[in-house]
Amino acid sequence: MASKSIDHAFTSTDLRSAATDPTYAGALSFMRRRYSKDITGADAVVLGIPFDAAVSNRPGARFGPQAIRRASAIFDNDPQYPFSRDLFENMSVVDHGDVLLDYGNHQETPGRIEAAARDILQSGAYLLGLGGDHFVTWPLLKAHAAHHGPLALVHFDAHQDTWDDDGSRIDHGSFVCRAVREGVIAPTRSIQIGIRTHAPEDFGIRILHGYEVEDMGAQAIADAILSHVEDAPVYLTFDIDCLDPAFAPGTGTPVAGGPSSAKMLSVLRKLGALDIRGSDIVEVAPAYDHADITAIAGATVAMYMLGLRAERLATSDHRQD
């Protein structure tokens, strides 16, 4: 036990050090990364956004960041499957904690999230967001587009989120509409995967419907994404309700007929060629979960996002511009 430590999220002295906490104990940052408001030297920063006042159905995603962090304790800092590497050996990652939001003044929420994201991006770090409902992607997208220019959106979801938006709504179902209208994303390079509902507009975004995803293999889905996006800079957002409720019951707007977690994780694993500039996992609502099924799926999606980033850093040896 002399070589072991506890509460690595507070006691670590190196941003690239492995944790040795028991999976059932210790401070629950994301994957035991150091909790810090100082992101100096970080290659990637994890940011929780505990907001769910924009939901149209069941609330509870404000508890998503807590649930995802708790579930991430299962990653015991051996080489992470399927990346065959310690993700943090050559990638320093900080858990920045959560954005402070005023539950009584939701009109301030977008600005607070955008400001927090902007500070992280200005440091040169990659940002991984833990939602929160899908509205939180809107201010994250704004911050990324201000830093990188318009982005291709790679969007895993059961819903298009293209409902009409007057530019001031606090609504998890219209952020894509607003992003297109304000030039934040490039619709002709954007793609949505797993859609199983209708919306009045698609804005020219390519859609892989749920029934198409069911008939396609993971490689074919990944190839469709890669060929459509090409070399455009990408923002990757994953709504956990992309998965069938059998694999993600703990979410606000579940839709039957979706893919398995295994299939979508296999797709993510094949997206290493994308120029991903930022990402988030949203809509984990643990009150409706069972045995942490949804939280584990969400934490694994987030781990894959960091895994793709670690591989890109290993091959390109640079941080975000």
Q: How many angstroms separate the Cα of 3 from the Cα of each of 6, 18, 19? A: 10, 12, 11
Residue spans of beta strands (DSSP E) within the chain: 34-35, 44-49, 93-98, 126-131, 152-156, 191-195, 206-209, 233-239, 275-282
pTM of the predicted protein model? 0.95
Residues of the chain with pLDDT under 50: none
Question: Which pLDDT score is estimated for 1?
Answer: 53
pLDDT at res. 301: 98
Task: Identify the pLDDT of residue 317.
Answer: 55
pLDDT score, position 2: 54
Q: What is the pLDDT of residue 13?
A: 83
| Binding-site positions | 134, 157, 159, 161, 239, 241
- Answer for the pair 252, 59: CB distance below 8 angstroms, yes or no: yes
What HEC string does 19-66 produce?
CCCCCCCCCCCHHHCEECCCCCCCCEEEEEECCCCCCCCCCCHHHHHH
Amino acid at the residue 93: V
Instruction: Give me the residue label for tokens 């040169």.
Output: 124
pLDDT at 22: 85
Residue 23 pLDDT: 86
Domain ranges, ordered by start, for the chain: 8-316
CB–CB of 138/179 below 8 Å?
A: yes
Domain 8-316 has what CATH class? Answer: alpha beta
Question: Binding site residues for Mn(2+), as ranges?
Answer: 134, 157, 159, 161, 239, 241
Query: Which is it for strands 191-195 and 275-282: parallel, antiparallel or unpaired?
Result: unpaired
C-alpha–C-alpha distance, residues 190 and 230, integer Å: 10
Of 201, 217, 319, residue with least CA distance to 264: 217
